[in-house]
Structure 1
Amino acid sequence: MVQLPEARDLAPRLAVGAFILDSGLTLLRADAATAEGVHGMAQVAYPFLEKIPAEQFTRLLACSELAVGGALLAPFVPTRLAGLALTGFSGGLVGLYLRTPGMRKPGSLRPTQNGIPLAKDVWMLGIGLGFLGAASRRRRAAAARHRRATLSRRRRCWCRG
């Protein structure tokens, strides 16, 4: 049975999903200069990306954004699974922010003017982590209800003194 997202998860899923989907659609239509710029920034933070051509990297990034954005917008995708995708994706972007020179003020995590567009990825990481923890809160609440019910039954038993 497919469990639809809870009402509290809808707003962040729609907002972040639409944002990432739009970014993916924009990157999918990127010209060669844009692809070189995106690839150049990414390979500064992640040197192993030098082996991948700029156009191929940009296309893979665009497809990844489309997949993550689509997963967030699709109501039949469980929130924890969408959160896992968002956490992985935004974790890579936060790494890009932390590793790229000039994005942060010296000795600080605070962004420079150039780093503000990348600093927003911290919010997406937080939302993704929140989605991952959502189900475990429900399980803890169910376990607490079970413990209370079990304890109250023990108190009512005449044989336990």
Structure 2
Amino acid sequence: MKLTHAPLRLSTGAFILNSGLGKRTLEGEAATAVHGMAVGAIPQLRQLPADRFAKLLSRGEIALGAALLAPFVPSLLAGLGLAAFGAGLVQLYLKTPGMREPHSLKPTQAGIGLAKDVWLVGAGLTLVLDSLTHRRRP
């Protein structure tokens, strides 16, 4: 990991790891609510029971957060994971009714929480592009 990637990886990694740790105990109505939002954006997730989905989401966030924090994980790989995760959240924002003003990308008050996740896509792509374009000096 390049030193210049550290602030980006530490801030996003700690945030996502904390989110995943907070979801470890999701059950019942809370798991159903999270699952319901996800199914609205990705209908195929309907095949998973809500409790199982919540556990997988938690584990995925923990794994991604840990990968971003671990200096031995290449920034290219960590960036790809971060960009994919962020893209999933942006898809949730775009497909969930009531998150955007009609015929617009502008978020409603309810959508601000998801709309801001576009920064995760940008951060992930920054890590990927910098990794692909960085020339190592001999």
Q: State the TM bucket, normalised to the shorter chain.
A: over 0.9
Shift of 1:118: 0.7
Superposed CA offset, 1:62-111 (max 9, x none)? 11101100000001101111001111111111111111111111111111
TM-score of the superposed pair, with normalisation by structure 1: 0.81
- SS of the residue corresponding to residue 28 of structure 1 reads coil
Aligned length: 137
For structure 2, list consecutive stretches of 5 or more residues without a partner in the other structure. none
Larger-Rg structure: 1
Superposed CA offset, 1:111-143 (max 9, x none)? 11111111121000000000100122223x87x
Greater relative contact order (Cα < 8 A, sep 6+): 2
Aligned-pair RMSD on alpha carbons? 1.3
Residue equivalent to 1:14: 10
Aligned equivalent of 2:54, options 44, 58, 61 = 58
TM-score of the superposed pair, with normalisation by structure 2: 0.94
In the alignment, does 2:100 pair up with 1:111?
Answer: no
- 1:7 and 1:110 map into 2 onto residues whose CA distance is 35
Q: Which runs of 4+ in 1 moved over 2 A?
A: none
For structure 1, list consecutive stretches of 5 or more residues without a partner in the other structure. 143-161
- 1:95 and 1:114 map into 2 onto residues whose CA distance is 15
